[in-house]
Amino acid sequence: MSLTLDTPTDAELPTLVEIWEAAVRATHHFLPESDLQMIKPLLREQYFPAVQLTCARNEAGRILGFLGTSEGMVEMLFVDPTCHGQGVGKRLMRHAIDELSATRVDVNEQNPQAVGFYQHLGFVVTDRSRLDGGGRPFPILHMSLG
């Protein structure tokens, strides 16, 4: 699959929210609906403005996934679930590592697919937090490039 990476426009941010929600529903089975609905508006209000966003587009220009980085940390990586396993996340992560000097990522312990994905890319668990960044009881694994 041929992918182009670039920065999404403000008008495309709703598309990123849609991809986030679809990906979370497909992979974060532990997250209650109430938490998902609480987090969703924070994406546009707080989370997107705090990171450097990069999106991956197919040949037709459709956004298939996106990445948010800040100071060497991958803060978010979400891929349209219909594209999982097709290299979109890997391409975004290679960009984060090779071009943006990202060496760290936090991942929900209860998302074994994501943990395995990052391990496959060379990340190792360096620490664990009992609670997520919002103080909820979803353990976070802190990973760094090995």
State pLDDT tens for residues 1-47.
Answer: 799 999 999 999 999 999 999 999 988 878 889 888 988 999 999 99
The number of beta carbons lying within 10 Å of the beta carbon of residue 28 is 16
State pLDDT tens for residues 54-91.
Answer: 999 999 999 999 999 999 999 999 999 999 999 999 99
> DSSP letter at 59?
T
Q: Would you put residue 135 in left (φ > 0), alpha (ψ -120 to 50) or beta?
A: left
CA 143, distance to chain mean position in Å, is 14
State pLDDT tens for residues 102-144.
Answer: 999 999 999 998 999 999 999 999 999 999 888 888 899 999 9
Tokens of 26: 């497909």
Q: Coil, strand, or helix at residue 35? A: helix
Per-residue pLDDT at 72: 96
Mean pLDDT of 46-55: 96
Per-residue pLDDT at 68: 98
Query: Is the CB of residue 1 less than 8 Å from the CB of residue 58?
Result: yes
The C-alpha atoms of residue 58 and residue 63 are separated, in whole angstroms, by 7
Strands 104-108 and 73-79: parallel
Tally of CA atoms within 13 A in the half-sphere of 140 that contains its CB: 14
Which residues sit opposite 106 in a β-bridge?
A: 142
Query: Is the CB of residue 76 less than 8 Å from the CB of residue 102?
Result: no
